[in-house]
A and B are shown apart, each in its own frame.
Chain A
C-alpha cells in the first residue's frame, strides 16, 4: 500500500541483463518531458520563493528587505492565529478521517445489506465540486433559517451559530471537510482490508480470539500501511487546505477561520507579493517539518510489521 513509501523497497530486481542493455531498454530521456515541466513550474518557483520572500516585490521590481516579511508575519496576531488554525484543521480532519474511514471500511467489508449503495453514497461527495459543497453547507448552516438548525429546533435543540460564530467557524468547516473527504479514506481502507489474506483472520478465529482481539492483533496492524497512507495524504491536504475554507468563510468572521493558504491568497490579492511568498515559505516549513519526519517514521514502522 505504501503509496508514499520511499523507493527502498522497490529495488530494481535482478542483474540478468547487462547494463548496456538496461540503459538502452530504459533510456534516461523518458524522464525528460516530465522533468522539464516539473523543474520549470515547480522546482524553480520553489527555489525562487526563498529569495522573493526576502523582498518587497511588485512582480516587476523588487527591493531586498531581509527578514522583514517574516518579522511582519509573526508580529500580526491574526497571522499567528492562522498558523495555529492550520494545524488544528489538519490534525482534526486527518484524525477524524482515519477513525471514521477505518470503522466505515470494516463495517462495509463485512456482511451488510445494500453494501454497494452504501459504499457509493459515502464516496459520492468526493466527486462533487468543493466550491459547490462549500456553498451548499454555507446555506445549510445558516444560524437562523438554515436547514440544520431548523431541524434541530424541531427537536427542541437550539443549534449553534456554525460559521457565524467566530469560535465555531473553523470547526464547522472542518466537519464539512471530513464529510467531503471521508469517502477517500474509506476506499483506501477497503483496499487495505481486501489485501489482508483470509488465512490470518480464519486462523485467529480458530484460536478462539474474540472479535476485539482479532481487531487489535490482526486487523489493526495489517491495516497499518493503509493508515499511514490516509494520515499522510489527509495531513498534506489539510495543511494546504484552501478551496473549502475560501468558499465557506473566506477566513472569517474577521480572521477567525483564516489558515495559511487563505492568508497567502489575501496577501497576494492585496498586492503584497513578497509577504505572500513569505507566507508560502512558512507553509513550506510547517508542512515539511511535520510531514517529512512523520512519513519516515511511518515507513519505518511499516517495515517492522
Chain B
C-alpha cells in the first residue's frame, strides 16, 4: 500500500516533469537558443542549440539600437512600476481600511464603484481627452495615474478581505492609547498587512510591468517608450533579426524573473492569506 503510493508519487511527478518540459520549458529554451544565435541561424526558427554563441554581441546590439532605447525604456518602466505599485498599496489599503471599519450609508455606493472598476473596460478615447485637458497625455506621470486608477479596485478588494480578519480590538486599544488615525493606520494596521502587501506588489508589478495596452494608448512616442512598447516596435525593426528580437524578450523578462525567484514561495501563501479569508 505504502509502496504503491510512493511509486505513484514518483511516477506522476516524473510524468509531470516530462509534460511540463515539453509544454512550458521548450518555449523558453527556444527563446534562449534563438537569442544566442547568429542572424542567419536564428532565421531558420529551428529548436536547436546555437552553433556559435553570440551572447555578448547580440546583447550589445540590442542595447545600442535606436539610441539606447532599451535603456530609456527600462528606466521608464521601472519608474512606472515602482511608483504606481507603491501608490496602489498605500491608497488601496487606506480605502479598504476605512471602508471595512466604518459603516456609513455610502458604503454600498463605494462598494458598487469598486466592483465597477473591476468589471468596466476603461473608455480609452475619452480618457485620452481628459488627460490632454490636464496636460498629462504622453507623460510618464500621466500613465502612473492611469495605472493607479485602473488598479485600485482589485487592490482594494484584496486589502478589504484581509483587513476583515484583523480584530477590531487592536484598533480600540490603539485609540485608547491616544493614537490618531494616521498613527493607527500606519503604525498598527499597515504592518499587519505584510502578507497581502506582498501579494499586491507581486500581482500589480507583473501586471503593470508587462502591460502593453495602456502605454500603447496613453504614452505613445519613441522618447518615452516602456519595455513592452520597445519590444513591439522592435518586432517591425528586427523582423529579419530574430536573434535580436529574442534577446530583447530575454532581457525584459529578467526583472520579473528576479521578482519571481525572490517571492516564489510567497505567491501561494500570500494568495491564501489575502484572498481566501473573505
Which of these binds chain B: A75-83, A158-166, A212-220, A285-293? Answer: A285-293
Q: How large is the interface on A (under 10, 10 to 19, 20 to 34, 35 or more residues)?
A: 35 or more
In the complex formed, the residue of B with least CB distance to A57 is: B125
Q: Is A49 among interface residues, defined by CB-CB distance under 8 A?
A: yes
Q: Let me know if A277 and B123 touch, CB within 8 A.
A: yes
Bound state CA distance, A30 and B189, in angstroms? 14
Which B residues touch A242, using CB under 8 A?
212-213
Q: Let me know if B24 and A121 touch, CB within 8 A.
A: yes
In the complex formed, the residue of B with least CB distance to A190 is: B268
Partner of B117, one of A31, A38, A52: A38
Q: Let me know if A6 and B231 touch, CB within 8 A.
A: no
Partner of A240, one of B46, B121, B171, B253: B121
Which of these binds chain A: B54-62, B63-71, B147-155? Answer: B147-155
Given A28-B98, A114-B13, A191-B271, also A42-B124 (CB < 8 A): no
Which A residues touch B129, using CB under 8 A?
45, 48, 52, 59
Q: Is B25 among interface residues, defined by CB-CB distance under 8 A?
A: yes
Please give the distance in Å from A23's CB to the nearest CB on chain B. Answer: 7
Q: Let me know if B101 and A12 touch, CB within 8 A.
A: yes
Which A residues touch B175, using CB under 8 A?
17, 21, 25
Q: Is B36 among interface residues, defined by CB-CB distance under 8 A?
A: no
Given A118-B17, A229-B275, also A280-B98 (CB < 8 A): no
Q: Is B227 among interface residues, defined by CB-CB distance under 8 A?
A: yes
In the complex formed, the residue of B with least CB distance to A14 is: B168
Partner of A129, one of B108, B124, B231, B267: B231
Q: Let me know if A3 and B111 touch, CB within 8 A.
A: no
Bound state CA distance, A277 and B258, in angstroms? 39
List 14 extra interface pairs beyond A114-B14, A288-B120, A295-B119, CB under 8 A: A9-B164, A26-B98, A30-B94, A42-B149, A107-B16, A119-B268, A126-B206, A129-B249, A139-B45, A147-B30, A179-B24, A187-B267, A190-B272, A281-B123
Q: Let me know if B268 and A191 touch, CB within 8 A.
A: yes
